Amino acid sequence: MCGICGLLGSNGCVEVQRLQDMTESLRHRGPDEESYYFGTHVGFGFRRLAIVDREHGHQPFQSENGHIKVIFNGEIYNYRELKERLQSQGHRFEHGSDGEVIAHLYEEEGFMFPTKLRGTFAIALWDERKRRLMLIRDRLGVKPLYLRLSGEHQGLAFASELRALLLGQEHPELDRQALDDYLSYRYVPAPYTIFQGIWKVEPGTALLFQVNRHRIEGHSVRYWRLPEEQMHLSFGAATRQVTESLEEAWQIRWPKEVPAGYFFSGGLDSAGLVALHQSSGQGPARTYALGFEQPQKTQDYRYYSELEQARQTARVLHTRHFERIVTRTEVEAQLPRILAAMDEPIADPTALPLYFLSEFAAASGEKVVFSGEGADEVFGGYSVYWEPRAHRRFQSLPGWTRSLARSIFPEQTRRFSLALSERYFGVGGLLRPDQKNELYLPGAIPLRSRESRHFFGYDELQAEGRLEEERMLRFDLMSWLPENTLMKSDKMSMAHSIEMRLPYLDHQLVELGVALPVAYKVERAQMKRVLRDALQNYLPAELRRRPKNGFPVPITAWLNSEWRANVQEVILDPGSRIGDYLRREGLQAWLKGRFSSRSARLAWALFTLETYLYEVESATGGWQHKENRKGITKAINAERVADQKMTRR
């Protein structure tokens, strides 16, 4: 994995210093090598984390005649087959790198060439003769790619991380609609970001930009979509196909050049990958697990640690197992760095263990780690997917029974009268529209043109012809997964120069999983039924039957004790950025008393956003700092002092 960035100007000039600064900001994504390309209209910057063809594989890659230049971040797993085909068509290759195929494939296939790639990637391709720039993101959005237009479409910049697009430039305003999205979903859906004029390339999409005289014109092409038709397979046939597809997805991702380990919870998904490894003859798998120290006044320590489950499973599978416990003090010391490394605000506290787990694996010498991310979205692993069944049961009751239930349990039954999108976001989201109205300052409310603007994947929730469970799974694959789960996975692992590989998100396995009947995946008695059966030759029954256990983070416990005063001070600081949009009195009402899990989610989201904005300002010399930012300054400085004093385990 690597870091890429670039500039395109309609006037034929490239700001060299700006490109160098952008490239330097991506050093953590590629500590092994730095390179550049400067041509007419375009400049590319590249940072390399060497995995495939470590001695060669220098970027940018190019076609034989040099007219096509390519930089990319990711891995192309079917590059050997592609090279053989391209060589038979007369193309020549200098070395053994996977990215060499891209320029030649573009010459043969045109702008739909990404359909031939199997892997994870963010690609920038410059066609000198056509004066065309292509920016491409892989099908599932594993690798991020950001874009910023400037000067009335006279120039653009792109990068693997949003922060690179802020360097040396006038800082954009917050996108108030994006803020509204964030306060609904806990992340900003693609193609939007928290800032006006900065965009995310959507998964499965190619953006084409043409330099036309003194203007840059662009349009997008969707080169991949989720399957529309359902496969009609027996359960046994479906199980066999999932087994074969998963085995291949793991095999093509196993690196031959560098060490690789496993992020390991001991649950079904990570245990399944490790079991595949153990049967491959590659030697014992190295597994890494993490837990948090027990918060004060908390009786059940197991809730905050996966270590016992991971330890038990590691013994069964005979792995070389490594684990560590992270203290609250360590989290506090690293918190500003973690939220800054996130690169955009995402209010998912599982970023914390991902950061420390990546740090742990990197310190142990790993350059590649395997993770079970994506299995829940493909095969139906979340309990929220049971909700439509409860909704249908309620609607099937006699009218008098429903009326009685509503009168006795008004809050519990209120959601059964809502549309799927409202029910879905009400489970894991932050604020309902009526709650936002109580919080927004008067000037901010009219800026919300509609409660839920259309964004990438949202149409999946509106597809009335599908079962609600199916619509939820498809939405999660196209929005929640890439813009929340995979975004934080990429940023936390790359902060420590580690490449994460995700066999469950091989697009062929995803297409198979999506096309299977919902009953093979979402079943009350056994979630991910087809995957559990697919692993029956690799895992003993007690591991396959193990229930879903999310990564536990004691945020609510910390917010109700040691972190409470600090978080309140940051959010209610008179100089806070969020104070430009939200009423202080409304925030105080949310923050008083003991935090429930829901109010703790909101407090964490607001703290995350405010800390992120402050760190971005500090690191990139952005907006003029507002006066009276005592809360955030005090919090950040205290954490940095703790960082200096911390004794590492």
Q: What is the pLDDT of residues 619-636, one digit of tens each?
A: 665 544 444 444 444 444
Sign of CA dihedral 220, 116, 26, 181: positive
Question: Residue 14 has what pLDDT?
Answer: 84
DSSP three-state, residue 476: helix
Question: Residue 48 has what pLDDT?
Answer: 81
pLDDT grade, residue 298 (50/70/90)? low
Sign of CA dihedral 553, 415, 374, 504: positive
pTM: 0.91
Question: Residue 621 has what pLDDT?
Answer: 58
Question: Residue 618 has what pLDDT?
Answer: 73
Question: Residue 625 has what pLDDT?
Answer: 42
Least confident of 112-116, 369-373, 406-410, 497-501: 406-410
Q: Please give the average per-residue pLDDT across 311-323, as a whole number.
A: 96
Question: Residue 54 has what pLDDT?
Answer: 57
Helix (H) or strand (E) holding 156: strand 155-159
Q: pLDDT tens digits for 597-608?
A: 888 999 999 999
- The fold adopted by the segment(s) 2-222 is Glutamine Phosphoribosylpyrophosphate, subunit 1, domain 1 (3.60.20)
Question: Residue 552 has what pLDDT?
Answer: 75
Under DSSP, the state recorded for 202 is P
What single-letter amino acid sits at 301?
Y
Structural contact between residues 203 and 487, judged by C-beta atoms closer than 8 angstroms: no
Question: Residue 301 has what pLDDT?
Answer: 44
Backbone torsions φ then ψ of 497, nearest 5 degrees: 55, 45
Q: Alpha helix locations (H) across 3-113?
A: 16-24, 79-88, 101-109
Percent share of the chain, pLDDT over 70? 90
Q: pLDDT tens digits for 239-295?
A: 999 999 999 999 999 998 888 999 999 999 999 999 999 999 889 999 999 999 877
Question: Residue 456 has what pLDDT?
Answer: 72
**Residue 446 pLDDT greater than 80, yes or no:** no
Give domain limits for the chain: 2-222, 226-552, 555-645
**Residue 574 pLDDT greater than 80, yes or no:** yes
Question: Residue 649 has what pLDDT?
Answer: 28
The set of catalytic residues is: 2
Structural contact between residues 639 and 332, judged by C-beta atoms closer than 8 angstroms: yes
What token pair was written down for 565? 């005063």
Please tell me the class of the 226-552 domain: alpha beta
Least confident of 155-169, 378-392, 393-407, 543-557: 543-557
DSSP three-state, residue 127: strand
Strands, E, within 473-596: which ranges?
A: 499-501
Question: Residue 452 has what pLDDT?
Answer: 52
Picking from 311, 305, 304, 290, the residue whose alpha carbon sits closest to that of residue 360 is: 290
Question: Residue 361 has what pLDDT?
Answer: 96
Question: Residue 617 has what pLDDT?
Answer: 76
Sign of CA dihedral 450, 163, 113, 470: negative
Question: Residue 64 has what pLDDT?
Answer: 85
What token pair was written down for 299? 């009786």
What token pair was written down for 26? 């991506």
